[in-house]
Structure 1
């Protein structure tokens, strides 16, 4: 079994507070991603229990690069919505400072999980239903696969943030096409 990655755009709201603290959802249950996969509730429970029992933690990486940890996840758990994460980017690490600046500027707005599939099946829609996963890491990424989890600045709602960023991107593209 190879390590797989599931990308999650921060539509489900990762919030950045005080420049380095982040929280939100890395995965949403019942949502089909661009790889035609759906994560079932409880898929992470066994893995999270094993990590806790072994005194280990889910890693926070930059773009899935194991040589570039950028922070720590203080809290990772399942709730009725999905896989919730809360942690801190390390400003004592150059890539952590860079990640915080890119998230704050809206240049990075994706989360991605690194995992190994332990159990899955096909559902009635032909999608792969992931029922048991071994979670290794949650990364900040440029291009997520699940377009339903996003970074938002403190006090912004996911809907406001999504439409605001979309408007900014479209305006930037319009300016570029118009020659400046």
Structure 2
């Protein structure tokens, strides 16, 4: 699952925990060089409606902390607009209510699976997304959560494929770096030069401990800084 942050525009946060806001904005290029196109959520929302389900509302993308429900979600001309309700009496929800009421939460972030995308010059346009959850987040905390998720899932795959002698393509490794917040030009340089050289050497008989050093170096590079 990928995540993507948006500035939080909360309206009418009431004492009973209901609020409105945008979970995604259409047409703007984000820090990953990606643009969410209008209509990207339409099929996912239709599937939820048919199944009588809704994307989850989590605290900081943590599946251990559901804090509310999304009572309605729809696309308008600006983006993905939602009406949600924090579940009063749930500790994390009560904390979120206080924090949001005082303006200390800085964003909403969507958790999604990318189903269809296309290149657009130096950027990528996201055409269809499977919307899984929308979380109130603080940006610094969410950055760390995203890097941790990359390490626990994509880095696990990265390490496994190196161990099996089937290193992932340079472009996939570049995507891992970009998901971790590495600027595009730097990610391209690391992947196409250092990593490409390392996997070429592997095919020519690099020792196992050299590959372990590569995995450890990448893991340290992606480690969140406190």
Equivalent residues of 2:118, 2:124 under 8 A apart: yes
- RMSD between superposed Cα atoms in Å: 1.4
Matched with 1:33 is 30
For this pair of structures, how many residues does the alignment match?
140
Partners in 2 of 1:123 and 1:37 — Cα distance?
9
Partners in 2 of 1:69 and 1:75 — Cα distance?
17
Instruction: Return structure 1 stretches of 4+ with deviation > 2 angstroms.
Output: none
Q: 1:120 aligns with which of 112, 117, 120?
A: 117
Matched with 2:72 is 75
Q: TM-score, normalised by structure 2?
A: 0.60
Deviation sequence 1:21-53 (CA, Å, 0-9, x none):
110111010011111110001000000001111
| Greater RCO, 1 or 2 (C-alpha within 8 Å, sep 6+) | 1
Equivalent residues of 1:16, 1:104 under 8 A apart: no
Partners in 2 of 1:106 and 1:54 — Cα distance?
35
Higher strand share: 1
- Unpaired runs of 5+ residues, structure 1, are 146-180
Equivalent residues of 1:37, 1:129 under 8 A apart: yes
Deviation sequence 1:7-33 (CA, Å, 0-9, x none):
1111xx222422311101110100111
Partners in 1 of 2:139 and 2:12 — Cα distance?
19
Deviation sequence 1:51-100 (CA, Å, 0-9, x none):
11111111111000111011111011111111001011111201000001
Structure 2 residue 99 is the aligned partner of structure 1 residue 99: no
- Unpaired runs of 5+ residues, structure 2, are 143-226
